[in-house]
Every structure is written in C-alpha cells, then in structure tokens.
Amino acid sequence: METIMKEKVLTMLKMQDAMNRRVNPDWREAGYAWHRAIWTECAEMLDHCGWKWWKHQKPDMEQVRLEIVDIWHFTMSDMLLTDATDDDIASRIVKEIQQPEKSMDIREAIENLALRVLQTGAADTSIFANLMQAAELSFDELFRRYIGKNVLNFFRQDHGYGDGSYIKVWNDREDNEHLADILADINPDMGGYADEVYKRLQQAYPKN
C-alpha cells in the first residue's frame, strides 16, 4: 500500500515540476511565495464552507475539495524547493498524510492550515492531512483529482490559454465539467492515466 502511494506521490511531484516549468522554466529561482498562495486559498475555501452566522449559507463541499486540490499544487511546489530528493519528499508525504495530527471540524482545519503556513512561511503536509480528513477526501481521490486538474492545465496551455484563444465553454458546459465526466469514466490506477485523460479532452474539445 505504501509503495503504491509513494509511486503516486512521485508521479504528482514530477507533474507539478513540469507544470511549473511550463509557466516559468526558472521557477525554482523565482522566489514565489507558495505559502501565500496556500493561505489565500484557505480564505476562499472557508467561504465555500459557510461561516457567517448572520445569513443562511449552505456548505459546498465539492468546491471545498476543489480548493484542497489547488492547495496541493502549491504544497508540492513549496516542498520541491527544499534540499531533499524527490524520493525523500515522497516518503515524508506518505508518512504524514497517513497520520493526520488530529480530527477537527472543517472550518477549524482550514484555519489551522492557514495559521501554520503564516507562522512558518512553508507548506505543512501533516496539517494538510487534517484538512483532507475533515473534508472526507481520501488520498486516492486527491490523486485522481490532482492528475485531472494538472492535465487540464497543460491542455489549456497547449490550446491557446496564454493568448486568449482557448475555448473554455463548449456544449454549454465549462471544461472543468467535461473533465469531471472524463475522470469518472477512467480508472486512475490504469497505466498511462494522465495520457488517457489528455486524449479524452482532445477528443471532446471543439474542432476549428
């Protein structure tokens, strides 16, 4: 089990580095504030949970989980900047994700992560694991959603996202919705999972 998890983490680390290099080949020397990206995403996530006692709010846990996946992009990016090897980083991630510090309310878990990264200026996978647990997001689901979002980001770049020519809505649905359909139809443990997701997006995307 741990060996399979580690292989999946290594896959995600490799894909995150590739995505960052696509945006900026020198991203490791750019000094990006990954911790700032994490805590601002936490604020957005809290709004999706609903916390205002003076008005009616219905928690949107699907959006919460999407925000967690976005935070995972930033968390891995920050960890890739350490002196540790990818193998060591993957081992640490597997260990900490399997052992959340404690069970807590989703709002408390969000605030706890934001507080930790503000205090330390760095990502923290043990606190991230608390958030996953509070949101009922399993590691396998994190992997499935991360791969899908990473592939979609590459697909967008390959089809004109940078120059504004990318078509984000087709057949009256956003690309994220099409992606969700594709992910639901593919086994994430299959070989070439990411390539298959990209191929399905290519098949569904409008032809000029």
Q: What is the pLDDT of residues 34-60, one digit of tens each?
A: 999 999 999 999 988 888 888 887 888
What is the per-residue pLDDT across 139-154, written as a single tens digit (0 to 9) for each? 999 999 999 999 999 9
Round the average pLDDT of the chain to a whole number and report it.
91
CB-count burial class (<10 Å; 0-12, 13-18, 19+) for 79:
buried
pLDDT band per the 50, 70, 90 thresholds, residue 82:
very high
Look at residue 134 in the predicted model and tell me its pLDDT: 94
Find the helix or strand (DSSP H, E) in which 169 lies. Answer: strand 169-170
For 1-137, the fitting CATH number among 3.40.980.10, 1.10.4010.10, 1.10.10.10, 3.30.465.10 is 1.10.4010.10
Q: 111: phi > 0 → left, psi -120 to 50 → alpha, else beta; which?
A: alpha
Per-residue pLDDT, 54: 87
Q: Which part of the chain is CATH 1.10.4010.10? A: 1-137
What average pLDDT does range 187-207 have in this prediction? 89
